[in-house]
Amino acid sequence: MSTASIQAAPIQLVRPAAAASASRSDAPRWQVEQIEALFALPFTELLYQAQTVHRANFDPAEVQLSTLLSIKTGGCAENCSYCPQSAAYDTGVEATALMKVDDVLAAARQAQAAGATRFCMGAAWRGPKDRDIEKVAQLISAVKGLGLETCATLGMLGDGHAEALRDAGLDYYNHNIDTAPDKYADIVQTRQFEDRIDTLQRVRGAGVKVCCGGIVGMGESRTQRAALIAELANMEPYPESVPINHLVPVAGTPLAEQAPLDPFEFVRTIAAARITMPRTRVRLSAGRQALGDAVQALCFVAGANSIFYGDKLLVTGNPDVTADQALLETLGMRAA
């Protein structure tokens, strides 16, 4: 499809199929070339199309607030090139044990009091063991009891894990595909792209909602950014939440010296996600501090309607709560 044809044609809202699998569609709704053509649109035209889709599906003044807590930090056996929690790199992050229920509840209550409606718990594991799932299930049940939506990101899941988490009250499971399939091996060597898809299938099969996105600014091409969006948009159904992370270079990791992505390219990625996944929550995630208020505002125009909210995002910095509240007030936006 040419760029001109996208400009001329009316926007067609893409609706998720009824299938309960997280596998990619045999007949993709979106080709990589089509998404590249979206990226190539004049910036104002792209934002107009994204905002049109956004307004057809959401209140454009609402932003969903999620808080992410690291419940088990560092010592991960994976070698993800972006991650300061990998045991393969010397980043100054010390491994910790799994947090206790009372400590997690205290953090969840604080997040809830600040306006968060979803509480995500992240553990730096390649994949949890059965005994880990039992402990995390207790945390999920406790947080669910506060009236918050619950989310967990624990790595690759084994047999029965998704079902156990579901039974404890888990609403969402986060498992990002990180980047395009043909870029994946440049970023991670301790697992394969299909391993990510396998866990997502387990989550869908258990009836848990999917939170799945990726990271941009890792040296990928625009075609690879389009391919990342295509992988997400062609899932059946596509994820209910799509976090788009802007790389935070961390000293000691292989991507520590990676040049930053052009901020307008980041906004284009948000817009492409919104157009191709009309009903998902597109979340501004890691890297918001570096973007600044003006670029974040453009992201909201481009269809972002969720943020990770709180002073820290796992082990990297995040805008503090008062700064986010001030930005939303300035923009005339409110918590969903």
The CATH number linked to 269 is 3.20.20.70
Give me the pLDDT at residue 6, please: 41
**Residue 6 falls inside a structural domain:** no
Model pLDDT, residue 1: 40
230-262 b/e with 16+ CB inside 10 Å = b?
bbbbbbbbbbbbbbbbbbbbbeebbbeebeebe
Amino acid at 50: A
Catalytic residue among 83, 118, 268, 299: 83
Mean pLDDT of the 246-263 span: 95
Count up the domains in the chain and report the number.
Answer: 1
Residue 12 has pLDDT above 80, yes or no: no
**Which of 178, 284, 174, 280 is closest to 224 using CA atoms?**
178
Residues of the chain with pLDDT > 70: what percent? Answer: 89
Confidence band for 312, pLDDT divided at 50, 70 and 90 = low
Q: Is residue 259 part of a domain?
A: yes
The overall average pLDDT reported for the chain is: 90
As beta bridge partners, residue 308 has 66
177 φψ region: left (φ > 0), alpha (ψ -120 to 50), beta (else): alpha
pLDDT tens profile 103-119: 999 999 999 998 999 99
Q: Name residue 130's amino acid.
A: D
Question: Catalytic residue among 76, 166, 225, 268, which?
Answer: 76
Range of the domain at 124: 28-335
By CB atoms closer than 10 A (0-12, 13-18, 19+), residue 12 is: exposed
Q: Confidence class of residue 268 from pLDDT cuts 50, 70 and 90?
A: very high
Instruction: Give Cα 208 distance to the centre of its chain.
Output: 16
**pLDDT at residue number 9:** 35
- For residue range 116-158, list pLDDT tens digits in order: 999 999 999 999 999 999 999 999 999 999 999 999 999 999 9
Q: Domain for residue 181, yes or no?
A: yes
Query: Considering only 108-122, 202-216, 270-284, 299-313, which range has the smallest mean pLDDT?
Result: 299-313
pTM of the predicted structure, to 2 decimals = 0.89
What is the structure's pLDDT at 289? 83
Say what percent of the chain tops pLDDT 90: 81
Instruction: Look at residue 11 and tell me whether its pLDDT is greater than 90.
Output: no
Q: Which residues contact 45 (CB under 8 A, 6 or more apart)?
A: 7
Q: Has residue 84 been placed in a domain?
A: yes
Cα–Cα distance for residue pair 31/53, rounded to 1 Å: 19
Question: b/e per residue, 76-104, with b = 16+ CB within 10 A?
Answer: bebbbbbbbbbebbebebeeeebbeeeeb
Strands 312-313 and 316-317: antiparallel
Residue 254 pairs in a beta bridge with none
Q: How far is CA 253 from CA 24, 79, 89, in A?
A: 31, 9, 6
DSSP 76: B
Mean pLDDT of 214-236: 97
Confidence of residue 15 (pLDDT cuts 50, 70, 90): very low
- Annotated catalytic residue within 29, 151, 204, 212: 151
Cα separations (Å) of 150 from 58, 91, 112, 114, 153?
A: 22, 29, 12, 16, 11
Residue 16 lies in a domain: no
φ, ψ for residue 151 (rounded to 5)? -145, 150
Q: Catalytic site residue 212?
A: no
Predicted confidence (pLDDT) at residue 7 exceeds the cutoff of 70: no
Task: In whole angstroms, give the CA distance from residue 67 to residue 58.
Answer: 21
Is a pLDDT exceeding 50 seen at residue 21? no
Per-residue pLDDT, averaged over 275-299, amounts to 94
- Is residue 299 annotated as a catalytic residue, yes or no? no
Q: Is residue 1 part of a domain?
A: no
| pLDDT number for residue 19 | 33
Indicate whether 300 belongs to any domain: yes
Is pLDDT of 167 > 90?
yes
pLDDT, tens digit (0-9, with 9 covering 90-100), for 29-60: 999 999 999 999 999 999 999 999 999 999 99
Catalytic one of 120, 166, 281, 288: 120
| Amino acid 13: pLDDT | 34
Instruction: Categorize the per-residue pLDDT at 313 as very low, low, confident or very high, splitting at 50, 70 and 90.
Output: low
Residue tagged active-site, from 202, 211, 212, 299 = 211
Question: Which one from 29, 204, 283, 288 is the annotated catalytic residue?
Answer: 283
pLDDT given for residue 5 in this prediction? 38
Question: At what angle are helices 288-301 and 263-276 packed, to 10 degrees?
Answer: 50
Residue 11 lies in a domain: no
